[in-house]
Amino acid sequence: MIRAEAFAKVNLGLKVGSLRSDGFHTLTGLFQSIGIVDELAIAAAERDEVSSSSGRPVIDGMNNLAFRAAAAVRARAGSRQPIGIALDKTIPAAAGLGGGSADAAAGLALAGRYFGVDDGTLVELARELGSDVPFCLRGGTARVSGRGEIVAPLEPLSGFTLAIVVPPAEIGTAAAFRKWDELGEPAGLQVSQAALPPALRDEGDLRNDLYPAAVALVPELDDWRGELEEAWGRPVMLSGSGPSLFGFFVDGDEAIGAAAAVPTGSRFAEACELMPRGWRFTETA
Ligand code: C5P
């Protein structure tokens, strides 16, 4: 059995450019891995299967991105060995936290180890699986550009903790980008440098351009942001295409207090530490 943990991501900033002829948008963003964790395992099986230890159905079944990632690695290895992928999720889905991409990256890493496929091939496969998968394969702190496939690692950020809240809604990435086009390519709300942790002050003003699109799809999102800003006394930002919202806190205790002060009814409210990577093996025997 080989096991790994996959970490969620937040977009500390996300600037979006116009729609390209390939159906994707150019973007530039500051991406950060965070300590919300999915657990994955790979093992030989009688036939291909996807399961969870709770017995709950796995999102998309055999079409799950983690399984597709592992199957793509197997194909590159020229193997026909049936595999079982176990996936236990904590990362909220359709929330802008990159959960499916994190699972895909961990699926690549697990299958890479199992089938003996090199890292360069895994990077190549990551690009084919989804725009956030190349970042999740590397993880930590990185400046991301292109459609997401250009990942420039940065020194790990430190000196702050995040509180993350997922309001009771789901937003599909494609729908958010489509709405952003329809709205005329708006810029997101700026968070001023003075309100950012010292480690982020060199970044200039951070913003997420998908915020207006996310609010157009889920109008209550703006109420959630307003209420959190009041409760926390600081700016609150959107991650990815949402609806995840987050604020910056000086340490874990302050972030835990902030997560406890969230209005009732959210899908998720937790303090999250910054992680220096996108996944890690927890068992390799
Ligand atoms: O790459 P991924 O499958 O995660 O993207 C889902 C959808 O989000 C794409 O089909 C596209 O509509 C949109 N997208 C985009 N520009 C990006 C990334 C995603 O328009 N850079």
**Rounded mean pLDDT of 137-161?**
97
**How far is Cα 38 from Cα 280, in angstroms, rounded to an integer?**
11
Does residue 57 carry a pLDDT above 90? no
Does residue 202 carry a pLDDT above 90? no
**Rounded mean pLDDT of 218-235?**
97
**Rounded mean pLDDT of 240-245?**
98
Note the pLDDT tens digit of each residue in 2-43. 999 999 999 999 999 999 999 999 999 999 999 999 999 999
Ligand 1, atom nearest to 25 Cα: 16
Does residue 204 carry a pLDDT above 90? no
Give, using CA atoms, the residue closest to atom 3 of ligand 1. 130
Catalytic residue among 103, 132, 179, 209: 132
Note the pLDDT tens digit of each residue in 95-129. 999 999 999 999 999 999 999 999 999 999 999 99
Confidence of residue 208 (pLDDT cuts 50, 70, 90): very high
* Per-residue confidence (pLDDT) for residue 265, from 0 to 100: 96
Does residue 59 carry a pLDDT above 90? no
Confidence of residue 203 (pLDDT cuts 50, 70, 90): confident
15 C-beta closer than 6 A to ligand 1:
no
**Rounded mean pLDDT of 136-152?**
98
Stretch(es) of the chain classified as CATH 3.30.70.890: 161-272
Which residue in the block uniquely carries the two structure tokens 């609806």? Answer: 243
Known catalytic membership, residue 15: no
Stretch(es) of the chain classified as CATH 3.30.230.10: 2-154
Question: What is the dotted CATH code of the domain comprising 2-154?
Answer: 3.30.230.10
Known catalytic membership, residue 253: no
130 C-beta closer than 6 A to ligand 1:
yes
What's the gap in Å between 239 CA and the centre of ligand 1? 15
**How far is Cα 73 from Cα 22, in angstroms, rounded to an integer?**
25
241 C-beta closer than 6 A to ligand 1:
no
3-class state of residue 285 by DSSP: coil
Q: Which helix (H) or strand (E) holds 235?
A: none
112 C-beta closer than 6 A to ligand 1:
no
**Rounded mean pLDDT of 79-87?**
97
Alpha helices in the chain (DSSP H): 65-77, 99-115, 119-129, 133-138, 173-182, 211-217, 220-232, 252-260
What percentage of the chain carries pLDDT values higher than 70?
A: 100
**Rounded mean pLDDT of 185-209?**
92
**How far is Cα 48 from Cα 70, in angstroms, rounded to an integer?**
11
Q: In whole numbers, what is the pLDDT of the chain averaged over residues?
A: 96
**Rounded mean pLDDT of 89-100?**
97
**Rounded mean pLDDT of 179-191?**
96
**Rounded mean pLDDT of 215-231?**
98
Q: Which CATH superfamily is domain 161-272 in?
A: GHMP kinase, C-terminal domain (3.30.70.890)
